[in-house]
Each structure stands twice: as C-alpha cells, then as structure tokens.
Amino acid sequence: MDLRKIKTLIQLLQESELAEIEIKDGEESVRLSRASAVTTAPAAPAAAVTAALPTLSDPAPAPEPAAPAPPEGEQVTSPMVGTFYAAPSPTSPAFVKVGDQVNAGDVLCVIEAMKTMNHIESEYSGQVAAVLAENSDPVEYGQPLFIIRT
C-alpha cells in the first residue's frame, strides 16, 4: 500500500472521533488504532502495515455493573475437567432444573471426560436454587455447577 495513502488515513483518524480504521486492499491490509499498538499478520506474503496513534481524549471506561450474588445454599462443584451435559441425551429432559427437589445421591448432570460419561450426584438434599453451567459448556475442576438450598 502506498505510504501517501497511509499518511492520509492517519490524518483522517486524528481529525475524527474514530477509534480505529482498518483498510484491506487485495492481500494488503492496514489497521490504525488510537487505543494501543495492534499487530496485524499478513494473510499472504504481502506486506502489512500497522500504526498506533496517541490517545486523543478517549473517554474513561464506564464501570462494569456488579455481578449478581449467587443464591444461598451449598455448592456442588465439578470433580473433574470435562464437558457439562444437563441431560443424559440431546432429546431427553434435563436431570434437574431450578426449583426441583433433590436427595443426596440423585444424579444432577453428566460430565464427559476422555470419552467417558461421569454421572455427578448431589451431596445434599434440598431444592435446586441455581444451575451455574450451560449444556455442552467446558468445565474445570472445582467449578461450581449447582447451588442446592438445604
């Protein structure tokens, strides 16, 4: 891409309220950003140019709203890394849903790990207050999956 075109784009970015401009011309691309230096990998052996401009009166980021507190109760956590399934098969209803009564030993979900389906049982008797994982989500060891009000 011609250096004059790049200088024109830089000037346009400085004079406008835009935070970023990205132009693709065939196999060449240019990305200009006020926020920080951005690296661009060329899609082919063509040259890619990246430029960063100083921040010109960027507004302060708005504070993020506080996450709602989880319901009170006992947490049932994942005993392993794997994939969370709320039902025994895609066409079956979920083992449990919010509001269901469960007893200690009832199956709450399945976690697939290394092609093995592991039934996760409740350690507590009570009412399901929250289901904290979505069907087919990857889960980590110790990640909260359910909250049971005892």
Contacts of 62 (CB under 8 A, 6+ apart): none
pTM of the predicted model over 0.75: no
Distance CA 138, CA 76 (A): 16
**pLDDT the model gives residue 69:** 63
CB-CB contact of 141 with 64 (8 Å): no
Q: Residues 36-65: what's their mean pLDDT?
A: 52
The pLDDT tens digits for 91-129 are 999 999 999 999 999 999 999 999 899 999 999 999 999
Residue 17 region, left (φ>0) first, then alpha (ψ -120 to 50), else beta? alpha
Q: What pLDDT score does 78 carry?
A: 94
Q: For position 6, what pLDDT does the model report?
A: 76
pLDDT digit string, tens, across residues 56-75: 555 566 666 666 666 788 99
pLDDT at 68: 64
The full set of domains in the chain, from first to last, is 3-52 (no CATH), 74-149 (2.40.50.100)
pLDDT of residue 91: 92
Question: What are the tens digits of pLDDT across the range 8-34?
Answer: 777 777 777 777 777 777 777 777 777
